[in-house]
Structure 1
Amino acid sequence: MTPERTEKLLSVLKRRQPDLSLIADQVNKPRNLSALIRNCDAVGIHSVHSVVPKEGYRTYRGTAKGSDFYVKNRQHESVESAIETVKSQGMKVVAAHFTDQAIDYREFNYTQPCALLMGAEKQGVSDVAAEMADQHIIIPMMGMVSSLNVSTAAGIILVEAQRQRMLAGLYEQQHLSDEEISRTLFEWGNRDLAKFCREKGLAYPPLDDIGDVIDAPGWHQRVQAGQADKYDWSGIAV
């Protein structure tokens, strides 16, 4: 990568907010899932959690697809798994869900570690997810329609989260570890090599602080000789 490109990626990573995330619960339209991830990238979210629809995902290639690469996506078989994962990381779960307990989305404190839960397009937030959520929020509606497209609603809420975090100065601090930044720079700058490592069950090669491979020829020789370090990538968001 050019020095200018490296500096651009570094500036993005230093603004990432690892304690802000999104859970997409069986959002079955690939276009909507891609748009959700685009929204997440725009507000500095580093990783999201998606619950795979029962019918799976259809292939989609669209204008939002490029953003998908820059946000890690960990897939789950159930919404319980996704919620338990973010809660184990100290995040509160705030569900966009119309109930008597729901508050205006602007009243929630997004500067605390939290994950926004968005339900499927038709069914919305499931009963089990609603029960597990720490807070329900709504976007006040002034017209005839009672709801917004899932990616539009998420975008509105996430911009409020961004506003609060900007006022709190959270984008002025580096939250990712130097190791995570180096690893992510490697993934962003070496897509094919990173994919090769994951497919072959290999650990990434030794990296410097800007994600460049240390002694690339030596590492390639170890790979060819079957001596490169192994790594279990199952369950790792990429």
Structure 2
Amino acid sequence: MQIIYGRKPVLEAINSNVEIEHIYVSYGQRGDVINKIFTSAKQNKIKISQISPSKFNQLVKNKNSQGVCALITEYHYKSLQEIISISLKSRYPLILIIDSVQDPHNLGAILRTAECAAVDGVLITSNNTAPINDTVQKASAGAVTHLNIAKIGNLNNTIQRLKDFNFWIAGTYISEKSKNYTDIDFKIPLALIVGNEEKGIRKLTADNCDILVKIPMYGNISSLNVSVAAGVILFEIIRQRNY
């Protein structure tokens, strides 16, 4: 069993296909979103209870829950093949690959951006990447419940599998071969790889990419936070495709 906490994440979970066991609201919580949670829970026949603040805090362990939490079954990951099949239905398939992002807040922020950019699927490496837990759910503002996510083992084998289905692989990486993200034509079946907060993607992974992407820096700091970098590139992809 897993806990989702926070008003927006719980409301998004209710309005998606997540299997919710029970919703708990701390006594005294009011507002438009709280009213929507009660209404949506009733419409979807989900159990919802109000409990004392002390019991509620025991349940969420004093996290910033905004007085609302939901008990759900463990997150159900899709398979790689399911992600590929879903993606190939799009005119320009778009998969985001997250490799070794260890901070759950960063992972949640990336997933929120991915959902806003309407990616077809997300692949998360099983080693050294934060799991989908309550912190990630909260940081994603409920986006996790709307995404198709798969866990993968060997990233380089996954890259080859995607190439077999005619995906182009783009990696965020700074080298002499890297191109500015605005100079690349993204109207292709694409898998974009973002890497670790400090080290970025690994050299072997970069060597297996078809395209290396960089975002030019104009200040004194040489790199962006990984969630910001993912957002910049994803929305350039969407801008080109919509244009």
What range describes the TM-score normalised by the shorter chain of this pair? 0.5 to 0.7
Structure 2 regions of 5+ residues with no counterpart? 1-14, 17-88
Decide which of 29, 36, 40 is 2:110's aligned counterpart: 36
Q: Distance in 2 between matches of 1:58 and 1:90?
A: 29
Indicate conservation of the 8 Å contact 1:17/1:45, yes or no: no
TM-score normalised per structure 2? 0.59
Question: Is 1:79 aligned to residue 155 of structure 2?
Answer: yes
Stretches (4+) displaced over 4 A: 15-18
Q: Whole-Å Cα distance in 1 between the matches of residues 121 and 185 of structure 2?
A: 20
List per-residue Cα deviations over 1:118-170 (Å, max 9, x = no partner).
11111211011011000111100000111001010010001100100101xxx
Residue 25 (structure 1) aligned with residue 132 (structure 2):
no
Q: Kindly indicate whether the alpha-carbon contact (under 8 Å) linking 1:17 and 1:46 is maintained by their aligned counterparts in 2.
A: no
**Displacement of 1:85:** 3.2
Structure 2 partner of 1:160? 236
| CA RMSD between the two structures | 2.4
- Compute the TM-score of the two structures, normalised by the length of structure 1: 0.60
Q: Does structure 2 conserve the Cα–Cα contact (< 8 Å) formed by 1:23 and 1:49?
A: yes
The answer on whether the counterparts of 2:92 and 2:187 sit within 8 Å (CA) in structure 1 is no
Q: Which amino acid aligns with 1:36?
A: I
Please report how far the alpha carbon of residue 114 of structure 1 lies from its aligned counterpart in structure 2 after TM superposition.
0.7
Distance in 2 of aligned mates of 1:45 and 1:17: 12
User: Partners in 2 of 1:55 and 1:156 — Cα distance?
Assistant: 21
**Cα gap change, 1:110 to 1:127, in 2 (>3 Å):** same
1:144 is aligned to 2:201: no
Report matched runs for 1:165-204 at 5 Å. Answer: 165-167=241-243
- Provide the C-alpha distance between the structure 2 equivalents of 1:106 and 1:116, rounded to a whole number of angstroms: 14
Give the fraction of aligned pairs with identical amino acids, expressed as a percent: 27
Q: Structure 1 regions of 5+ residues with no counterpart?
A: 7-14, 168-238
Residue correspondence of structure 1 range 1-238 to structure 2 within 5 A: 19-54=93-128, 57=131, 59=133, 60=135, 61-167=137-243
Letter in structure 1 aligned against 2:173: H
Contact in 1 for aligned 2:101/2:130 (Cα 8 Å): no
Task: Please identify which structure carries the higher strand content.
Answer: 2
Cα pair distance change 1:69/1:44, threshold 3 Å:
same
Equivalent position amino acid for 2:103 in 1: K
Count residues with an aligned counterpart. Answer: 156
Residues 161 and 94 of structure 1, relative CA distance in 2, 3 Å threshold: same
